[in-house]
Amino acid sequence: MIHPTPRLRFAPSPTGPLHLGGARTAMYNWAAARALGGKFLLRIEDTDQARSSDASLQIILTGLKWLGIDWDEGPEKGGDFGPYFQMQRLPLYRAAADRLLASGHAYPCYCTPEEIDAGRKAMEEQKAGFAGYNRRCRNLTAAERSAFEAQGRKPNLRFKMPEARVLQVHDLVRGDVEVNTKELDDWVMLRPDGVPLYNFACVVDDIGMAITHVVRGEEHFLNGIKQRLLFEALGAECPQYAHIPLILNKEGKKLSKRDADTNMLDYRDKGFPPEAVFNYIALLGWGFSGDRDVFTRDEMVAVFQIGNIGKAGARFDEEKLRWMCGEYVRRWTPAQCLERARPWLSRVVPEAAFSSHAAWLRNVVGCYQERITILSEFTDKIGWLFAELPTLDEAAQKNLAKEPASKDWLRGYAEVLEKGNLPPSWPADRTAADAVVALPSKKDAAAPTCAFATPAQIEQECRAFTERIGVKFGNFVHPVRAALTGTDKGPGLFDVIFLLGREACVRRLRAAAAR
């Protein structure tokens, strides 16, 4: 009987990090469980003991949590259907194997790897069409078995594939599919040491954990056929399967390490906002109704249906992922962005500044929200604010060298700013300026009343100065920006001047003029 509550699982093998494909599989199972009002559980398929590690498990769990994919049962949570680690379930596999032996659906196979190989080669030579295990041990007599046992051979347990037949299966993604079982081997279920192989453990656990739906990669489609037959042999109902297409690269080829980070935590460490990564991964094979690309987890869950997962291979495109990140970063308030970006800001901003200069940092961050996509970009982008003098990049050097007269402009402008009413420079307290003026300045916003010159006033004074000295405003701003920031890109120039404050501006303009 199918369990009345929908129950879905993600069943990672802890043999490596959580990668993009795994994250997507987990997400679709999670979303379906949430959408159906069911349970989502984690099962750890750790039977490959040589390759499984606790380190990988921790990376997988951390990756899921980072993406906001929570589970109801499994590691760290427990649950009524445990244990959730396959290596803790060995007695259950043994018991199922005994049932299958008793019912004639399984048999012990004493063949050595060499014998199996030789058998396969012989089949190949006979061109029998299908070359796999030659089923030598399928019909051994009791005496033959005893003879092998007496030689000290320890048997693998094989599943006795039923007579070849054409199966009509329904896959929630692929639709109705016809499969001929004649090409399927008598596969190994259990090794002599009692450790199960994937297909066997998977079915015993899907039954034991009352799984109702399975979403997984299409590489498991044929496994799904073997599993259906095993469910049948065990007298259990098979979950509804959905086998989803691979994630391809931009060119439509298999995704490789060059196309994407293989560890979800690398995205975390580079400051990709997890909700943006979640949103992007959701779109790798599934679409929100209409042409809406940006949505929250809750919005996804409200409309998610397994049947709406696409049949075509989704393509991973890092540019689109970054675009998505930018969409999220821009929607935050500067205060939220400051909070989120703190780990990357901390690489250049002294720790104390987060409390003493919170308003200033909000303004700094606010100026960049439109200009970055991932938070690690902050580290490189805001260093100029803290240096005694900025390091001039190539573009800045060019802009300073272009007009021979520009050194005089800089000297003159330094004087204007020195006499003007700019806010003080970091590390002096600037709260009176930053708590009142919110950056980036918006042209249409009402002018705040501030004890210091606002960016709009600084601009007015600057224009007046360029008129006085007879220099085109458009030419004037380039060397000034270069002198102040060391580069030719960044926030609006008058926001820059406001952020830097009087002493820093004057010092930088004079240093550039003296070069």
Part of the chain binding ligand GLU (CB under 6 A), chosen from 9-17, 120-128, 246-254, 383-391: 9-17
In a 10 Å sphere around its CB, with 0-12 CB exposed, 13-18 middle and 19+ buried, how is residue 376 labelled?
middle
Q: Can you give the three-state secondary structure of 32-74, one letter per residue? A: HHHHCCCEEEECECCCCCCCCCHHHHHHHHHHHHHHCCCCCEE
Instruction: Check if the beta carbon of residue 179 is closer than 8 Å to that of residue 243.
Output: no
Among 6, 7, 13, 381, binds ligand GLU (CB under 6 A): 13
Q: Can you give the three-state secondary structure of 293-356, one letter per residue? A: CCCCHHHHHHHCCHHHCCCCCEECCHHHHHHHHHHHHHHCCHHHHHHHHHHHHCCCCCCCHHHH
Instruction: Check if the beta carbon of residue 374 is closer than 8 Å to that of residue 272.
Output: yes
Distance between CA atoms of residues 515 and 510, nearest Å: 9
Q: How far is CA 249 from the centre of its chain?
A: 15
Part of the chain binding ligand GLU (CB under 6 A), chosen from 5-13, 400-408, 425-433, 479-487: 5-13
Query: CB of 220: closest distance to ligand GLU in angstroms?
Result: 5
Q: Which residues from 216-245 bind ligand GLU, rule CB under 6 A? A: 216, 220
In single-letter form, the type of residue at position 187 comes to W
Instruction: Check if the beta carbon of residue 168 is closer than 8 Å to that of residue 120.
Output: no
Part of the chain binding ligand GLU (CB under 6 A), chosen from 11-19, 73-81, 138-146, 294-302: 11-19
Among 7, 8, 12, 476, binds ligand GLU (CB under 6 A): 12
Conformation bin of residue 175: beta by default, left when phi > 0, alpha when psi is -120 to 50: left
Write the CB contacts of 142 (distance below 8 Å, at least 6 apart in sequence). Answer: none
Size of the site for ligand GLU (CB under 6 A): 7
Q: Retrieve residue 288's tokens.
A: 């929100």
- Contact between 203 and ligand GLU by CB under 6 A: the answer reads no
Nearer to ligand GLU, 25 or 369 (CB): 25
Catalytic residue among 77, 182, 257, 402: 257
Q: Retrieve residue 447's tokens.
A: 């002018």
Q: How far is CA 367 from the centre of its chain?
A: 27
Part of the chain binding ligand GLU (CB under 6 A), chosen from 10-18, 34-42, 272-280, 395-403: 10-18
Nearer to ligand GLU, 204 or 433 (CB): 204
Nearer to ligand GLU, 33 or 329 (CB): 33
Query: CB of 13: closest distance to ligand GLU in angstroms?
Result: 4
Nearer to ligand GLU, 51 or 121 (CB): 51
Q: Which residues from 269-288 bind ligand GLU, rule CB under 6 A? A: none
Part of the chain binding ligand GLU (CB under 6 A), chosen from 8-16, 110-118, 342-350, 396-404: 8-16
Nearer to ligand GLU, 131 or 265 (CB): 265
DSSP character at residue 195: P
- Contact between 209 and ligand GLU by CB under 6 A: the answer reads no
Query: CB of 272: closest distance to ligand GLU in angstroms?
Result: 23
Q: Which residues from 30-59 bind ligand GLU, rule CB under 6 A? A: 45
- Contact between 202 and ligand GLU by CB under 6 A: the answer reads yes
Query: CB of 10: closest distance to ligand GLU in angstroms?
Result: 7
Q: How far is CA 149 from the centre of its chain?
A: 50
Q: Could you confirm whether 257 is annotated as catalytic?
A: yes
Distance between CA atoms of residues 99 and 103, nearest Å: 6
Residue 399's closest CA among 515, 513, 511, 482? 482
Query: CB of 85: closest distance to ligand GLU in angstroms?
Result: 12
- Contact between 211 and ligand GLU by CB under 6 A: the answer reads no
Distance between CA atoms of residues 122 and 132, nearest Å: 10
Query: CB of 17: closest distance to ligand GLU in angstroms?
Result: 12
Query: CB of 289: closest distance to ligand GLU in angstroms?
Result: 27
Distance between CA atoms of residues 148 and 359, nearest Å: 80
Instruction: Check if the beta carbon of residue 60 is closer than 8 Å to that of residue 53.
Output: no
Query: CB of 273: closest distance to ligand GLU in angstroms?
Result: 27
Query: CB of 71: closest distance to ligand GLU in angstroms?
Result: 14
**Cα separations in angstroms, 461 against 94, 158, 293, 424, 425:** 84, 86, 44, 18, 19
- Contact between 11 and ligand GLU by CB under 6 A: the answer reads yes
Q: Which residues from 385-404 bind ligand GLU, rule CB under 6 A? A: none
Catalytic residues: 257
Residues found near ligand GLU in the complex (CB under 6 A): 11-13, 45, 202, 216, 220
